[in-house]
Amino acid sequence: MAVIRRLHIGGKQRAPGWEILNAVPAPEVDHVGDARDLSRFTSATFTEVYASHVLEHLDYKDELAQALREWHRVLVPGGRVMISVPDIDVLSRLIVDRASCTMEERFLLMRMMFGGHVDAFDHHQVGFNDEFLAWFLGATGFQGMRRVAHLGVFADTSDTTFRGMPISINMIAEKPVPQWPGFGVSPVPGPDALECICGSERLFLDCHGRPRR
């Protein structure tokens, strides 16, 4: 019987059946390493990959796509990724509402947008709304992207609120199961034929999604 393995990227709390990978060593961390490089794991190792408030720490120029490709690679076909990131749409609306938020509250919102800067890794390099996140997931091979209110796995930043308003995008997607194309079904363009999201009219692989060399 195959062993079911699940990977919690950026995790800080132990949970049965989950292995933690984090760039910062700690007693609860099973694997100290970079979310962009999972080469220590063979392909199709994990049934689930979970990451809450991790992707925003990666440069949207190449690093983001590099990480998502790695997460896709280590998932078994049919495995799922569960991702939470700060919602730049919600945070932007809140921070400009000077009539409702004090300066101290707006400063807190700014830190949610740009990172707390409590260590070398706590800097945000990209802002997400659900449209951007779903696009990058699709561009790196995932399917079935859907936003959910709660991921329901860990009590963590995915459930962060400001004045009762959720400030995170929680999204689930799957790694496709290989199958024969159905009769009359047009193939989905692969990443080598996908134009970049930035509007440059260049291919994603030649623009913001350059593969690691």
Boundaries of every domain in the chain: 6-86+119-206
What is the rounded distance in angstroms from the CA atom of residue 38 to the CA atom of residue 198? 27
Cβ within 8 Å of residue 209, ≥6 positions away:
62, 65, 139, 140, 191, 196
What is the rounded distance in angstroms from the CA atom of residue 71 to the CA atom of residue 36? 8
What is the rounded distance in angstroms from the CA atom of residue 64 to the CA atom of residue 206? 14
Per-residue pLDDT, averaged over 68-74, amounts to 97
The pLDDT tens digits for 30-67 are 999 999 999 999 999 999 999 999 999 999 998 999 99
Q: Can you read off the two tokens belonging to residue 3?
A: 């062993």
What is the rounded distance in angstroms from the CA atom of residue 128 to the CA atom of residue 130? 7
Cβ atoms < 10 Å from Cβ of 141: 17
CATH superfamily, region 6-86+119-206: Vaccinia Virus protein VP39 (3.40.50.150)
Q: Left, alpha or beta for 199 (phi > 0: left; psi -120 to 50: alpha)?
A: left
Q: Can you read off the two tokens belonging to residue 95?
A: 């921070």
The pLDDT tens digits for 156-212 are 999 999 999 999 999 999 999 987 655 555 555 666 778 888 888 888 888 888 887
DSSP 58: S
Q: Give the model's pLDDT for residue 51.
A: 98
pTM equals: 0.89
